[in-house]
Amino acid sequence: MLFSSPIFLFVFLPVVLLIYYGPLRSTRRGQNLFLLLASLFFYGWGEPVFVLVMLGSVGFNYLLGLWVDRRLRRGRSPALPVAVAVTGDLGTLFAFKYLTFTLANLRALGADLPLWDIALPIGISFFTFQALSYVLDVARRDAQVQKSPLDVGLYIAFFPQLIAGPIVKYRTVARQIHHRQESWASFSQGCGRFLVGLGKKVILSNQLALIADAAFDPALPSSVAMAWLGSVCYTLQIYFDFGGYSDMAIGLGKMFGFQFLENFRYPYLARSCRDFWKRWHISLTTWFRDYLYIPLGGSRAGRWRTVRNTLLVWLFTGIWHGANWTFLCWGLLWFCLLTAERALPGGERGPLWLRRGVTFLLVNFTWVLFRAPSLPQAGRFLLSMFHGVPWSAQAGYYLRQNWLVLVLAVLACGPSATWLRGRLARWSEGEGRPDLLPAWDALCALSLAAVFLISASFLVKGSYNPFIYFNF
């Protein structure tokens, strides 16, 4: 079940909210149990059998958390249960996500091995990292162990961030499981945030996907202009797809009293490659930083070990995204860019517009590798961006049909609404000037209502509705 689906918007979410704030309002344990059951129903909507994988992950990590806690209370090292957790969680992830890819490559090298077609549980990369975070945070004494398996289940399986993040570290929400505070202000903020994300996904990302899919068709783009248009549209699509989903997840969390950390901070305004990864998929970046990069020594163990640690992080970041050589090479490319940027003198100098422009171009090129189904096709697409017929009727058609979506997408890449509100606030402070902020806030509320109506109309009529990170 997707957030951007009629069944979720008009049936699942209203029913869950009515029960949560109706008969269960006065019992936190009842609310938590209900949210867990609702989350399992949400996860099992498409493939019920994978609920068993989810429950297995919950039970496995719950028991390991108890084992870690017992060893800590006895003054013993938690290394053994942590090793079991890492092996079990990553082993399960490998079996479902990477085993077929590994066997296929070994067969290509001549090994006589069977090839199994293993279905991928939705969002397994996300909930596996969350489950592992629970055991690691208990082992580090960053959070208390949960005695109830239902509480561990709610943390791992909570439906707003279950299938596409953000990856929520256990220590950031451990207290909220029983001591969160719901309020009308938080609920209304959550509704607004959810609608912003819904608009990004349905109105912007889905329309941009039509152009990107046409450009990335197995045949080469019809012109240099179409190749550039397709790559830029995919760059915008993946941001509004994943960023919109993160907005919806954060908004849903607020509706139930949970406060999730931000996952995106206007990444296409980044002024360097390092700055980009401080703004893009922040929950994944910080997960690898806290649980891999820093434990390996981070940047404190000398120059070459820093390079090694960075290489390992980006190898795992690439592999985390999918079982394909394109993702592995995408991670290596980012390692090269970040290492070169760190080594080159004056990397943070120059006009701001130039640094942002160069960073955007580099990011755009990396997304081509991320989007292409194979390395040869990625190479051919990149070549077509600089060689071939300059213009085509196809590029002109898509520009004419989608210019408004492209303009809105560019504006939505930055804090346009926040900037305008700030300008109005400063203007209204002048003596004798009317206070325009109430009118602005009313306009924003009407805009959100319009976003909901437009998004709902697109979804009801069955418009194109892909979701990139649904497969991760």
The alpha carbon torsion through 105, 108, 109, 112 (nearest 10 deg) reads 100
Cα distance between residue 462 and residue 441, in whole Å: 32
**Contact yes or no for 235/363 (Cβ under 8 A):** yes
Cα distance between residue 145 and residue 100, in whole Å: 35
Residues 59, 63, 67, CA angle at the centre, nearest 5°? Answer: 165
Tell me the two tokens of residue 386.
């600089």
**Contact yes or no for 124/156 (Cβ under 8 A):** no
Q: How many CB atoms lie within 10 A of CB 437?
A: 13
Best CA proximity match to 265, nearest among 275, 274, 253: 275
List 179, 281, 321, 387, catalytic entry: 321
Q: Catalytic residue at 321?
A: yes
Q: How many CB atoms lie within 10 A of CB 36?
A: 22
The type of residue at 156 is I
Tell me the two tokens of residue 126.
């996300």
The type of residue at 216 is F
CA distances for 199 relative to 211, 233, 269, 330, 394, angstroms: 18, 16, 20, 29, 27
Residue with tokens 């930083």, as numbered in its chain: 289
Best CA proximity match to 466, nearest among 371, 397, 400: 371
Best CA proximity match to 338, nearest among 290, 404, 274, 275: 274
**DSSP H helical ranges for 256-351:** 273-276, 282-288, 303-321, 325-343
The type of residue at 111 is A
DSSP letter string, 425-454? HHHHTSTT----HHHHHHHHHHHHHHHHHH
**Contact yes or no for 355/363 (Cβ under 8 A):** no
164's enclosing H/E stretch is none
Tell me the two tokens of residue 32.
């938590």
14's enclosing H/E stretch is helix 13-21
Cα distance between residue 70 and residue 180, in whole Å: 27
Cα distance between residue 323 and residue 36, in whole Å: 30
DSSP 45: T
The alpha carbon torsion through 355, 282, 232, 195 (nearest 10 deg) reads -120
The residues annotated with a catalytic role in the active site are 321
